[in-house]
Amino acid sequence: MRQKTKTKSVKKTAQNEPKPANDAKRPNTRTSTHSEYDIAIIGGGVVGFAAAMYAGRFRMKTILFGDKMGGVIITTDVVENYPGFKRLTGQELADKVREHAMDYEVEMEEELVKDIGKQERNDAKSVNAPVFKVTTESGKVINAKTVLFATGTKWKKLGVPGEEQFANKGVHYCALCDGSFFKNKIIGLVGGSDSAAKDALVLTQYGKKVYIIYRGDQIHPEPVNMERVQQKIKEGKIEIINNTNVKEIKGDKFVKSVLLDKPYKGKNEFPLDALFVAIGHIPLSDLAVKLGVKVDNKNEIIIDRTSSTNMPGIYAAGDVVDTKFKQAITGVGEAVSAVYSAYTYIGEQGTKKKK
Ligand SMILES: Cc1cc2nc3c(=O)[nH]c(=O)nc-3n(C[C@H](O)[C@H](O)[C@H](O)COP(=O)(O)OP(=O)(O)OC[C@H]3O[C@@H](n4cnc5c(N)ncnc54)[C@H](O)[C@@H]3O)c2cc1C
């Protein structure tokens, strides 16, 4: 089990104002201290961190649970489109947003949330609004007036023979994490999105050559990344195989080749040393669905412009929701709206006492 870091909450006083963002002594987790929170944020990516920062500013009793702190942004080595930062790594961006949140009295725990239940309050004096019971993998239970899902996604798999067998033995999903294992090797990458192109560019730093295998007519990254890919094609570091699918991954102890559904240079079997899969993500919305939150046909949580779901008191933001363009900045914007909505919801419920 992962080692958890826990630090006591710090009371903010005039002498103890927020410290600069580069203060190495600032805790990056805090343990839970309240019997009932205003908001429980599920997800430790940039979107969850941004939500925690806003909730802290609203002086909401805030707790964030994150399974893998930092989230998916830490798998990219270059972010150039987050306003205010011309260029930084995904890890640096996640660290900055997290540090910013920890300037406020928010609590963060590195824990997987296993269950969220809804309970009506049964004492006569309390408000109409229900309470949400959040249970973590280690058995901790906390109560919250509102919940924000910022659970993001997991990697989509190809679903072909050999994928499971050669997982981490030549089949990989994170170019930045695992690309360096393949110095001077032939690397395949399946996918055509912007993040797939960025992954291919990362892999050119290590591999002898990177083959992008894409099922459509043409890969579709952002123009700036397309230009970079084209430059690498000129340099002989990238080659694109369009209109082609990988049918099977073959090897002995490690990956040796893939079978393509149409011949490339006259052959269906294509020799390579590694295959990176960058074909998208699956939203982590199961907990929300179990609670009664509506999702679309892709299992993405449906939100409105205030980041509210169909359930009062439940909000969602970031890669797990049904917005089309998924970026750090769009998710952060949704998170801000969600926290504001939660804040106003709590205020309204506080005035609606049971009759
Ligand atoms: C290779 C790549 C490059 C990218 N480049 C850029 C870029 O340059 N610019 C840009 O703006 N965007 C980029 N993106 C997109 C960007 O990373 C995402 O849109 C953004 O990080 C999503 O953040 P999130 O917090 O919604 O989700 P995530 O980052 O996925 O975080 C979700 C968090 O929730 C946690 N979690 C899930 N379930 C639970 C649970 N039950 N209990 C507790 N915790 C849970 C996860 O462990 C994780 O910590 C890129 C994406 C990829 C893959």
List the domain boundaries for the chain: 23-154+281-349, 157-277
For residue 160, what pLDDT is reported? 98
Give the tokens for residue 139: 């058995």
Class of domain 23-154+281-349: alpha beta
The band of 2, judged by pLDDT with boundaries at 50, 70 and 90, is very low
Helices (H) and strands (E) in the chain, counts: 7, 17
- Using an 8 Å Cβ cutoff, are 220 and 192 in contact? yes
Do the domains 23-154+281-349 and 157-277 sit in the same CATH topology, yes or no?
A: yes
CA torsion through residues 171, 175, 178, 181, sign:
positive
More confident residue, 96 or 22: 96
For residue 113, what pLDDT is reported? 98
Query: Which residues have CB under 6 Å of ligand 1?
Result: 42-48, 65-69, 71-73, 75-76, 79, 81-82, 112-113, 150-153, 195, 198-199, 284, 287, 318-319, 326-329, 331
N- to C-terminal Cα separation, the chain? 48
Closest residue to atom 37 of ligand 1, CA basis: 151
Q: Across residues 299-311, what is the average pLDDT?
A: 98
Nearest atom in ligand 1 to the alpha carbon of residue 44 is 49
Read off the pTM: 0.86
Q: Give per-residue pLDDT as tens, 11-31.
A: 333 333 333 334 445 566 666
For residue 349, what pLDDT is reported? 82
Q: Across residues 26-53, what is the average pLDDT?
A: 87
For residue 19, what pLDDT is reported? 39
The band of 121, judged by pLDDT with boundaries at 50, 70 and 90, is confident
Closest residue to atom 15 of ligand 1, CA basis: 327
Q: Across residues 72-90, what is the average pLDDT?
A: 93
**Which amino acid would we find at residue 136?**
T
For residue 12, what pLDDT is reported? 36
Measured CA to CA, the distance from residue 128 to residue 351 in angstroms comes to 10
Closest residue to atom 1 of ligand 1, CA basis: 195
CA 228 – ligand 1 centroid, Å: 24
CA 171 – ligand 1 centroid, Å: 21
Give the tokens for residue 285: 């919305």
For residue 147, what pLDDT is reported? 98
For residue 4, what pLDDT is reported? 40
281 pLDDT above the threshold of 70: yes
Question: Which residues fall within 8 angstroms of residue 243, CB to CB, at 6 or more apart?
Answer: 214, 215, 216, 217, 262
Half-sphere exposure of 159 (CA within 13 A, CB side): 3
The band of 9, judged by pLDDT with boundaries at 50, 70 and 90, is very low
6 pLDDT above the threshold of 70: no
Q: Which of 78, 11, 90, 85 is nearest to 49 (CA)?
A: 90
Lowest mean pLDDT among 205-214, 322-331, 344-353: 344-353
CA 331 – ligand 1 centroid, Å: 9
More confident residue, 177 or 30: 177
Q: Across residues 298-315, what is the average pLDDT?
A: 97
In Å, how far are 13, 26, 57, 297 from 7, measured between CA atoms? 18, 10, 20, 41
CA 46 – ligand 1 centroid, Å: 7
Give the tokens for residue 319: 């890669």
Nearest atom in ligand 1 to the alpha carbon of residue 49 is 25
Calculate what percentage of the chain has a pLDDT beyond 70. Answer: 87
CA 26 – ligand 1 centroid, Å: 23
CA 238 – ligand 1 centroid, Å: 27
Helices (H), the chain: 46-57, 90-102, 175-178, 194-204, 223-234, 286-291, 328-351
Q: Across residues 245-258, what is the average pLDDT?
A: 97
Q: In a mutational test of the pocket of ligand 1, which residue from 76, 147, 202, 307 has the highest number of ligand atoms less than 8 Å from its CB?
A: 76
The structure tokens 């007519």 sit at 217
Q: Across residues 157-168, what is the average pLDDT?
A: 96
Q: What is the mean pLDDT of the chain?
A: 90
Class of domain 157-277: alpha beta
State the maximum Cα–Cα separation within the chain, in Å, rounded to a whole number. 78
Closest residue to atom 30 of ligand 1, CA basis: 152
CA 45 – ligand 1 centroid, Å: 5
Q: In a mutational test of the pocket of ligand 1, which residue from 194, 327, 329 has the highest number of ligand atoms less than 8 Å from its CB?
A: 327
The band of 84, judged by pLDDT with boundaries at 50, 70 and 90, is very high
